[in-house]
C-alpha cells in the first residue's frame, strides 16, 4: 500500500531546475534510502514531501491516516552547550500542545518518556544533551520526532559526523522502528545504509529508483562504497529500476 505518491514533480530555484519529472511511491513498510550528489535535490525533495515547500509542477498525494510525519533535520538548530536535558529536547516535539504558563502536561511527559524508551535512551532522560555522544544525541532527536506518532519518518543525513559504530546503532534503531512505520533516509553513509534499506532513490535532478531485493546488501561497514560503485552494482542486478 502506498502512503505517498509523487507524480511528475518539478521544482526550480531562480529558473534553474533542481528537480525534474520526479515519480516515486513510498509504501507503508518501506525503508527508502535517498542518495545522490550534493546539490542534486535530495533535501529539496524531502522538504516538498514535508510541505515545507510547495510543488511548482506535479503532485504529491499523501494517504496517511493522521497526516503525521516524523522529521529529523540535518541541522537540528540545537546548541549542545545549552543546559537542556534529553527529556526536555524530546518534549519540544510537543511544542504545539504546550499550554501557556503551565508548561507540559503529564501526558506530554509520559509520551516523551515512552519515546525515549523506544530509542533506548530512557535511562538518559535527565542527562544534559551536551554530555551525550553523537549517536546518543541522534537517538534523542529521533525520539523527539516520534512524539508526533508518525506513520512515516524522514531523516536528512542522520549519521553525519557520527563514527561507524554510532552509524550502525542509529540504523539498527531505524530498522526496529521500520516494523511499525515507513523510514526515508537521505544519506551518504551508503556502506552501512545498504544493510537496512529496502529500496534506493538516486536523485540528481532526475530520479532513478531501485528495489534492493536482488542486491547483495551484506556490505562490511569498514569498506568504502561510493555512489558510482553502487549504481554500477545495481545496474548488474535484475532488481528492475524506474526513471522519473
Give the pLDDT confidence of 165-180 residue by residue, as tens digits: 888 889 999 999 999 9
Q: Could you tell me the pTM of the whole model?
A: 0.83
**Residue spans per domain, the chain:** 1-68+151-244, 83-149
CATH architecture assignment, domain 1-68+151-244: 3-Layer(aba) Sandwich (3.40)
Residue 243 CB neighbours (<10 A): 10
Alpha carbons 192 and 38: distance in angstroms, whole number: 19
pLDDT category of residue 47 using cuts at 50, 70 and 90: very high
Cell numbers that stand for 107 in this block: 501526558
To which H or E segment does residue 25 belong?
strand 16-27
Handedness of CA 180, 181, 184, 185 (dihedral sign): negative
Q: Can you tell me the mean pLDDT for 13-38?
A: 92
* Helical packing angle, 106-118 and 134-146, nearest 10°: 130
pLDDT, mean of residues 219-239: 47
Q: Pick 213 or 43 by higher pLDDT.
A: 43
Q: Rg of the chain's alpha carbons, rounded to an integer?
A: 18
Q: pLDDT tens digit string along 69-124?
A: 899 988 665 677 788 999 999 998 775 554 544 577 888 899 999 999 999 999 99
Task: Tell me which residue of 66, 40, 7, 49 sits closest to 184, measured CA to CA.
Answer: 49
CA angle 26, 165, 77 (to 5 degrees): 65
CB 113 within 8 A of CB 86: no
CA 104 – CA 100 distance, rounded (Å): 9
- Report how far residue 192's alpha carbon sits from residue 155's, in angstroms, rounded to the nearest whole number: 15
The CA distance from 182 to 150, in Å, is: 9
For residue range 193-216, list pLDDT tens digits in order: 778 899 999 999 999 998 876 555
Q: Among candidates 223, 233, 184, which has minimal Cα distance to 60?
A: 184
Amino acid at each position: 500500500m502506498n502512503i505517498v505518491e509523487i507524480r511528475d514533480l518539478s521544482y526550480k530555484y531562480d529558473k534553474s531546475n533542481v528537480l525534474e519529472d520526479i515519480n516515486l511511491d513510498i509504501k507503508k513498510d518501506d525503508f527508502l534510502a535517498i542518495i545522490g550528489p550534493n546539490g542534486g535535490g535530495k533535501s529539496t525533495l524531502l522538504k516538498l514531501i514535508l510541505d515545507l515547500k510547495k510543488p511548482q509542477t506535479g503532485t504529491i498525494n499523501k494517504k496517511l491516516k493522521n497526516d503525521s510525519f516524523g522529521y529529523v533535520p540535518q541541522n537540528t538548530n540545537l546548541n549542545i552547550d545549552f543546559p537542556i536535558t534529553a527529556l526536555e529536547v524530546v518534549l519540544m516535539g510537543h511544542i504545539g500542545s504546550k499550554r501557556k504558563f503551565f508548561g507540559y502536561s503529564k501526558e506530554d511527559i509520559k509520551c516523551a518518556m515512552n519515546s525515549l524508551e523506544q530509542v533506548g535512551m530512557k535511562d538518559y532522560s535527565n542527562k544534559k544533551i551536551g554530555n551525550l555522544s553523537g549517536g546518543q544525541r541522534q537517538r534523542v532527536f529521533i525520539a523527539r520526532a516520534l512524539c508526533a506518532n508518525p506513520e512515516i519518518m524522514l531523516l536528512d543525513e542522520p549519521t553525519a559526523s557520527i563514527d561507524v559504530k554510532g552509524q550502525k546503532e542509529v540504523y539498527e534503531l531505524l530498522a526496529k522502528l521500520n516494523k511499525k512505520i515507513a523510514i526515508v533516509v537521505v544519506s551518504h553513509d551508503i556502506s552501512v545504509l545498504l544493510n537496512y534499506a529496502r529500496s534506493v532513490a538516486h536523485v540528481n535532478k532526475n530520479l532513478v529508483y531501485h528495489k534492493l531485493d536482488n542486491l547483495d546488501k551484506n556490505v562490511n561497514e569498514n569498506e568504502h562504497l561510493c555512489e558510482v560503485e553502487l549504481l554500477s552494482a545495481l545496474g548488474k542486478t535484475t532488481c528492475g529500476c524506474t526513471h522519473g
